[in-house]
Amino acid sequence: MAPKVSFNPERLGFYEKAGWEAYYDRDWPRVLRLMVRLNREQFRMPWPTAVAAALDTVRASVAFAPRDNDLPETKRHLERFYHKARRSVDMRADAATLAALELDYWLVHRELAARRKVNRADDDIEPMVRSLANLHAALFDSTPERMRVSAELRALAAVAVDRITGRYSEDVAADWRRVEALLAQAYRAVLLALDRAPTPGAERAAHS
Q: For the segment 160-176, what is each residue's pLDDT rounded down to a tens digit?
A: 999 999 999 999 999 99
Q: pTM, whole model, 2 decimals? A: 0.91
Q: Is 173 left (phi over 0), alpha (psi -120 to 50) or beta?
A: alpha
- pLDDT band at residue 5 under the 50/70/90 scheme: low
Looking at residue 4, its pLDDT comes to 58
Looking at residue 109, its pLDDT comes to 96
Name the amino acid, one letter, at 106: W
Distances (CA, A) of 62 to 34, 39, 136, 138, 158: 15, 18, 23, 24, 19
Distance CA 57, CA 13 (A): 17
- Helices marked H in 25-46 — which ranges? 28-43
Predicted confidence (pLDDT) per residue in 178-202, tens digit: 999 999 999 999 999 999 877 544 4
**Averaged over 5-31, what is the pLDDT?**
95
